[in-house]
Amino acid sequence: MSIRSAVMALTVLAGGITFAAETYPSKPLEIVAPANPGGGFDALARAISRSLDTEKLYPQSNSVINKPGAGGAIGFAYMQMKSKDNYELTVFSPPLIIGSINGTFPSRYTELTPIAKLITDYQVFLVRADSPYKTFKDLMAAVKRNPQAVKFAGGSAAGNMDHLAFCKVAKAAGVDPSKLVYVAFSGGGEAMTTLLGGNVAFVSTGIGEAIPQIQAGTVRALAVTAPERRGGPMASVPTVKEAGINVTYEVWRGVFGTPGMSKEAQEYWMKTLKTMSTTKSWADSVQKMQWVDAYADAAAFAKFLAEENKSYEDLMKNLGLVK
């Protein structure tokens, strides 16, 4: 057993035996995905796990566990329960901020320990391959005619990310967001299943989780909320702006530790995730999922989160989703 991985070291002092503090890290790591398998949280958690293993960046084992429910609130509560546990990380995105604002989370986002912002994703609006809506303009025309007849689904709770993304687009297009009919699921995989089953007209989801179905030809992507067209399998998908609606919507994703995570653990993960973000295995995941590399260290991430909190407060008040 190496000195670094030893849990305890014995030192003989003045005729007695003293136990020295354990060296971090000395235990297996859990990476919490606050949603079901098949969604953006799960994809990011597993990409991190894969890179840690491939690049041998973590000397112990690691595993991904899914804690779905309540738009991420269950995963948040799990991290609260693990307060001061240095061997728990979680991934989060805008629902962390949204849940703090609308009170669906048990506490504010500031309770978690920000480690690093990793990637940016964008929303894509999908229909079944055989849908009568051939373009995003077709879909929006139907929504304008009768908003309640064109149901859509997403992998987050009502008033959350997948819902808000289309609400923002609809409002800019002159549609009252309160009249939209949204069907919420605990993960993008379930939302996709209900679309393929013909139970909703379209799905609002992250690009990364939509890629497999787009490549399989089972769905058709009508528009993406990026400021310009993406590459790869998304190269032919127009932006919302191209449909004449001047809106973008960014989905950032980052890593957090538990409340009260030790400074030693924070420093370890800040250094490790920065290294991970430069590796080939990580670049491969970013390319495969059509993410945008957006690494920011803990200090920059904390500042960004404060700005996001203000931005979402303004958006949600404007949409009538929070007082």
- Give the residue with greater pLDDT, 288 vs 279: 279
62-66 and 88-92: which strand pairing? unpaired
Integer Cα distance of 93 and 89 in angstroms: 14
Q: Where are the beta strands (DSSP E) in the chain?
A: 10-13, 16-19, 29-33, 62-66, 88-92, 113-128, 152-154, 182-184, 202-206, 219-224, 250-257, 292-296
Kindly list the domain boundaries of the chain, sorted by start residue: 10-121+252-318, 122-250
Return the closest-CA partner of residue 143 out of 121, 129, 127, 161.
Answer: 127
Q: Is the pLDDT at 195 greater than 50, yes or no?
A: yes
Q: Would 10-121+252-318 and 122-250 be classified into the same CATH topology? A: yes
Query: Is domain 10-121+252-318 in CATH 3.40.190.150, yes or no?
Result: yes
The CA distances from residue 116 to 49, 201, 277, 301, 303, in Å, are: 15, 36, 10, 6, 11
How do residues 209-245 score in pLDDT, each as one tens digit? 888 999 999 999 999 999 999 988 899 999 999 999 9
Q: What is the CATH number of domain 122-250?
A: 3.40.190.10
Mean pLDDT value across residues 257-277: 98
How do residues 93-147 score in pLDDT, each as one tens digit? 998 999 999 998 999 999 999 999 999 989 999 999 999 999 999 999 999 999 9
152-154 and 29-33: which strand pairing? unpaired
pLDDT, position 40: 83
Instruction: List all residues 6 or more positions away from 167 whose beta carbon is below 8 Å from its beta carbon.
Output: 177, 180, 319, 321
Q: Is the pLDDT at 12 greater than 80, yes or no?
A: no
- Give the residue with greater pLDDT, 38 vs 262: 262
Q: Is the pLDDT at 71 greater than 90, yes or no?
A: no
